[in-house]
């Protein structure tokens, strides 16, 4: 079976791990983009607690360097039961693996509620992005059975009220949502086999509390960290080690700390929108058994009737389920294209059809080149890709050429591929939005649009033929989740790369000094959903750009021009005379360095760091003709 506790989807740690750690520690002051990739790559192994502690120190040193290339940043508070230091020291190293420098601020041992209530406490004064509440059933007094159902209910209520009081005291001081952990249930049966039926058993009380915690996350912006699920999957009997609880109040056996820390790091990264977006699939011996080029349509193993055939079906089913959650599917296979496509078209047991695959690369080039091309075609970063291949040679090649692609190790048996991929958690989101469910279709429609463009030489004519409708609205509660997602993950077409949390976005909805826009684009091929977010700061006659970002899916459609026309109209109506454009350079947004210039702004300042300021006279602005219908709604 897949050994989750040993992070089965990751490579084993290299022999020279300590030397590489030391070398990176020495070079941290001169760290650059290549350094960050090397640090990520070293973290992207199955590391034990000692190794996580060691690389975590390098992560800490890197965090103190001010420049950013690859890694995002996050300050996480940690409050809960028992000794959390072992956990706290494993999180920064695990964060690297998820492209985030996590600064962990640990609450003091014991008296959690007092720390939450005291505005002077370390946790309250640390400007945190979030706090993880990590409590143990013993600390919540659920280790002693209740005499009857009535008393059990009271005990659960009391434990829940305690957690809520802590959560609600901390929430106003953190910029993002709280992370709420479920409680790992006890191992020892109290009423033997009747525990689940007896409300007063510690087991039943913990289950009742967990149900309340889950409801809490559903009814607030808090995010669920389902440790009860994780612990039961790997085995509660091992998870709870009484020796370690008695001697050091460790809430879990130390060997589970790397797995637990990875779950925390992955959740934090998802809060920042840094989950993976595209699954690149190999074909032979990954989606079916055998080699289509050698064995032919009749020879490959797939479908009901054989254990192996069912195993490959389960891989295809998993891929389809990811797709329905918004993950884009692509194929990279060493095959002749026509041969590789044959099963998709003609094999009756194939669950995956050509329509499900957005980019299909079957040729004899190396896979790294093909994967690079897939990222380009989809207009997403290499660090958004996951590559699934049974062949360890191909996996290593891709890792060496493209270290930022996530390449899971796979067990020998295809029956375990889907499970390994699922527990790697590459696509884990903190919430599933309607837009996520439709995303794969957007990319699909885009591929069709590209085909139309190839056939057309007249760009304006092409744009007009798309029958685009551009809908512009101010920020509102309905769009809030998607606005926040875009603000936190758009890198390329992003003028300022300023990140805001969902609550900050919510505050902008009614802020009198903010002009906000969410932009959607539909065309005859489909609805692209929300593709642009813009915020200006209003100060009398001068409006200054705070956020301007756009999805690269709609590059070249003149949406940015339509947006500017809308801004100018609003500015004019509210008596503003001047727009100020701000460009703040990052490693990824060079494509918009001259955006304001292209839109007719004049440059008024160039800073030494490459940042620029631009100005546009609102009165002198003329609205051009757009190849789309603008729907500005009732409000402006």
The interface region with another protein, picked from 249-257, 434-442, 485-493, 598-606 by CB under 8 A, is: 249-257
Considering beta carbons, is residue 256 or 322 the nearer one to another protein?
A: 256
Query: Is 395 within 8 Å of 389 (Cβ atoms)?
Result: yes
Computed on alpha carbons and rounded to an integer, the radius of gyration of the chain in Å comes to 26
Nearer to another protein, 109 or 148 (CB): 109
User: Toward another protein, which CB reaches closer, 61 or 297?
Assistant: 61
Per CB under 8 A, the segment of 50-58, 138-146, 369-377, 506-514 that binds another protein is 50-58
User: Taking CB under 8 A as the criterion, which residues in 6-35 touch another protein?
Assistant: 18
For residue 350, give both structure tokens. 């194939």
CB of 56 to another protein, least distance (A): 12
Strands 357-363 and 328-334: parallel
List 37, 61, 63, 83, residue binding another protein (CB under 8 A): 83
Among 173, 254, 474, 636, binds another protein (CB under 8 A): 254
Cα–Cα distance measured from residue 523 to residue 528, given in angstroms and rounded to the nearest whole number: 8
Stretch that binds another protein, among 244-252, 321-329, 440-448, 475-483 (CB under 8 A): 244-252
**Closest among 16, 24, 77, 21 to 52, alpha carbons compared:** 21
Residue (242 or 610) nearer to another protein, CB: 242
The residue (of 83 and 363) whose beta carbon lies closer to another protein is 83
CB-CB contact of 45 with 81 (8 Å): no
Q: How far is the CB of 45 from another protein (least distance, A)?
A: 15
Q: Which stretch binds another protein (CB under 8 A): 43-51, 267-275, 361-369, 514-522?
A: 43-51
Angle at 488 between CA 484 and CA 492, to 5 degrees: 125
Minimum separation from the CB atom of position 38 to another protein (A): 21
Given the rule CB under 8 A, which of 39-47, 133-141, 245-253, 318-326 is the region that contacts another protein?
245-253
The length of the chain in residues reads 636
Min dist CB 18 to another protein, Å, is: 7
Q: Which of 37, 38, 53, 465 binds another protein (CB under 8 A)?
A: 53
| Alpha-carbon gap, residue 560 to 554, rounded angstroms | 10
Q: How far is the CB of 108 from another protein (least distance, A)?
A: 15
In the list 50, 392, 452, 574, the residue contacting another protein (rule: CB under 8 A) is 50
Least separation in angstroms between residue 250's CB and another protein is 7
Q: Which of 164, 175, 255, 544 binds another protein (CB under 8 A)?
A: 255
Rounded CA separation 99/269 (Å) = 7
**Residue span binding another protein (CB under 8 A) among the ranges 82-90, 158-166, 214-222, 457-465:** 82-90
Structure token pair of residue 68? 């950013």
Rounded Cα distance, 577 and 221, in Å: 39
Any contact of residue 526 with another protein (CB under 8 A)?
no
CB 38 within 8 A of CB 17: no
CA 394 to chain centre: 26
- CA 253/CA 241 separation, integer angstroms: 5
Beta bridge partners of 149: none
Minimum CB distance to another protein smaller for 60 or for 221: 60
Give, as one character, the DSSP assignment of residue 197.
Answer: T
Which of the ranges 206-214, 215-223, 242-250, 325-333 carries the binding residues for another protein, by CB under 8 A?
A: 242-250
Nearest-5° angle of CA 147, CA 151, CA 157?
A: 140
Pick the stretch among 42-50, 167-175, 382-390, 525-533 that binds another protein (CB under 8 A). Answer: 42-50
Compute CA distances 498 → 102, 411, 492, 583, whole Å.
18, 41, 12, 11
Q: Is residue 48 a contact residue for another protein (CB under 8 A)? A: yes
Compute the least distance from the CB of residue 79 to another protein, in Å: 18
* Backbone phi, psi, residue 345, to 5°: -90, -35
Q: Which is nearer to another protein, 164 or 255 (CB)?
A: 255
Among 243, 355, 573, 609, binds another protein (CB under 8 A): 243
Contact 150, 194 (CB under 8 A): no
- Does 235 interact with another protein (rule: CB under 8 A)? no
10 Å CB burial of residue 627 (0-12, 13-18, 19+) is middle
Query: Which runs of E-coded beta strand occur in 81-167?
Result: 100-106, 130-134
CB of 489 to another protein, least distance (A): 35
CA-CA distances (angstroms) from residue 366 to 123, 341, 363, 399, 400?
50, 19, 9, 13, 12
For residues 483-502, which are near another protein according to CB under 8 A?
none
The residues binding another protein (CB under 8 A) are: 18, 48-51, 53, 83, 85-86, 89, 243-244, 246-248, 250, 254-255
């Amino acid at each position: 079976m897949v050994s989750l506790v040993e992070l089965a989807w990751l490579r084993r740690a290299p022999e020279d791990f300590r030397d590489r750690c030391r070398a990176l520690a020495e070079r941290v002051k001169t760290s650059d983009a290549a350094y960050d990739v090397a640090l990520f790559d070293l973290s992207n192994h199955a590391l034990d607690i000692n190794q996580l502690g060691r690389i975590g120190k390098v992560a800490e040193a890197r965090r103190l360097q001010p420049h950013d290339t690859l890694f995002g940043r996050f300050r996480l508070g940690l409050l809960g039961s028992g000794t959390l230091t072992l956990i706290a020291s494993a999180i920064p190293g695990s964060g690297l693996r998820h492209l985030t420098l996590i600064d962990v601020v640990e609450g003091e041992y014991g008296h959690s509620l007092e720390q939450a209530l005291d505005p002077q406490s370390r946790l309250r004064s640390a400007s945190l992005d979030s706090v993880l509440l990590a409590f143990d059933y013993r600390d919540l007094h659920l280790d002693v059975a209740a005499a009857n159902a009535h008393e059990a209910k009271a005990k659960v209520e009391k434990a829940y009220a305690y957690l809520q009081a802590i959560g609600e005291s901390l929430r106003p001081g953190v910029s993002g949502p709280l992370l709420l952990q479920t409680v790992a249930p006890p191992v020892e049966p109290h009423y033997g086999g009747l525990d689940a039926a007896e409300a007063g058993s510690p087991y039943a009380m913990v289950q009742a509390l967990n149900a309340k915690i889950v409801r809490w996350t559903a009814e607030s912006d808090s995010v669920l960290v389902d440790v009860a699920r994780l612990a039961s999957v790997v085995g509660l009997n091992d998870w709870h080690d009484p020796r370690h609880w008695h001697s050091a109040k460790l809430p879990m056996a130390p060997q589970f700390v790397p797995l637990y820390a990875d779950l925390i790091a992955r959740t934090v990264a998802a809060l920042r929108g840094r989950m993976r977006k595209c699954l690149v699939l190999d074909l032979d011996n990954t989606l079916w058994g055998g080699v289509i080029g050698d064995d032919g349509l009749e020879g490959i193993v797939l479908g009901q009737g054989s254990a192996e055939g069912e195993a490959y079906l389960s891989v295809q089913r998993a891929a389809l389920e990811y797709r329905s959650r918004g993950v884009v599917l692509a194929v990279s296979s060493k095959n002749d294209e026509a041969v590789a496509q044959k099963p998709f078209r003609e094999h009756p047991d194939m669950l995956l059809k050509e329509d499900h695959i957005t980019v299909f690369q079957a040729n004899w080039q190396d896979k790294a080149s093909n994967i690079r091309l897939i990222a380009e075609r989809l207009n997403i970063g290499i660090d958004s890709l996951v590559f699934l291949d049974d062949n360890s040679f191909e996996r290593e090649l891709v890792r060496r050429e493209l270290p930022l692609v996530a390449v899971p190790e796979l067990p020998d048996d295809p029956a375990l591929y889907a499970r390994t991929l699922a527990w790697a958690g590459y696509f884990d989101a903190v919430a599933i939005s309607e837009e996520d469910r439709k995303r794969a279709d957007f990319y699909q429609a885009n591929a069709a649009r590209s085909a139309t463009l190839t056939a057309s030489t007249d760009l304006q004519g092409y744009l007009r033929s798309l029958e685009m409708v551009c809908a512009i609205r101010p920020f509102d509660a309905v769009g809030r989740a998607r606005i926040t997602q875009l603000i936190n993950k758009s890198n390329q077409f992003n003028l300022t790369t300023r990140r805001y949390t969902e609550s900050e976005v919510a505050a902008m909805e009614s802020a009198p000094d903010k002009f906000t826009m969410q932009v959607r684009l539909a065309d005859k091929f489909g609805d692209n959903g929300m593709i642009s977010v813009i915020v200006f700061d209003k100060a009398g006659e001068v409006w200054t750009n705070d956020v301007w970002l756009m999805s690269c899916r709609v590059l070249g459609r003149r949406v940015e021009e339509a947006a500017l026309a809308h801004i100018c109209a609003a500015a004019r109506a509210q008596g503003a005379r001047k727009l100020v454009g701000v460009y703040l350079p990052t490693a990824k947004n060079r494509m918009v360095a001259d955006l304001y210039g292209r839109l007719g702004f004049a440059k008024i300042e160039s800073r030494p760091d490459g940042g620029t300021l631009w100005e546009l006279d609102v009165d002198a602005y003329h609205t051009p003709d757009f190849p789309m219908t603008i729907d500005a709604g009732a409000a402006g």
